[in-house]
Structure 1
Amino acid sequence: MAQTGKPAEKTAAGTMYLLDTHGLIYQMFYGVGPMTAPDGRPTNAVFGVTRTLIRFYEQGADYLLAAMDSAEPTFREAIDPNYKAHRPPPPPDLLLQEPIIYQILEAMHIPQLRYPGYEADDILATVATQAQERGLHVFLCTADKDCRQL
């Protein structure tokens, strides 16, 4: 994630952290060592995402928003059916953790934004632009190279 670890600079309107949710889940799944609940369910991504969300608040986030890819095909796939067609499916242990992570986001009152036909980076770009226009200091929390132009 493109975060420095420094406390967020406060502005009059506040500080917003925009999360590439699936990117964060993948990063934590592969970056945190194996962990399981007492019943054997994998929990490494759950732990890593939760720890990261808490850290963002500790660093000064006034607002967090979790952007997610559309469950439906995107407009890019309509243009090019081969777009991301060769990506392997997510590991089953990662998929088992996603519903728990979504429940944690909900419990922490972090809005989850998904829009049919769009990817998380499209949502991040739109919200970041609008938030900056309203005077918010925005942090993009993503490793997605498509967001570098923002």
Structure 2
Amino acid sequence: MEGLLSATSTSDAIRPTQRTWSIGELARHFDVTTRTIRFYEQEGLLHPQRRGQTRIYHDKDRVRLKLTLRGKRLGFSLAEIREVVDLYDAADGGGEKQLTRLLDILAEKREGLERQLRDLTAMQRELDDVETRAREALARLTTHG
């Protein structure tokens, strides 16, 4: 799933390492606040290791944060992100169930966007109609006044 929801650039790919990150390092890397990261942790999307009060983030957490942020940009709800990321974890990198669910969510998002586009197009036609009638009425007033 990472490849599906993340940038396609290989330089942006997450490679398995034993590196760990602090909350501040992740926040800077992904250009988010530490509060955002703590929120995603409270929502069950991230599971850092704890040493006292210090959070220690591993590769899996970094990938989950990256997928969460990408999902948010695509308009996924936190529940949808959690569901797909949890399936990703359960399938150890993805699987048929996870990909099928991802495709279902994408189809729902696309349908919603198409509906919004139709609504906006109809609203734009209505605005154009009202504008045309207002200009015609104004023209009649100025030529007869």
Could you tell me the TM-score, scaled by structure 2's length?
A: 0.29
Task: Report which of the two has the higher share of strand.
Answer: 1
Which gives a bigger RCO, structure 1 or 2 (Cα 8 Å, sep 6+)? 1
Task: Report which of the two has the higher share of helix.
Answer: 2
Could you tell me the TM-score, scaled by structure 1's length?
A: 0.28
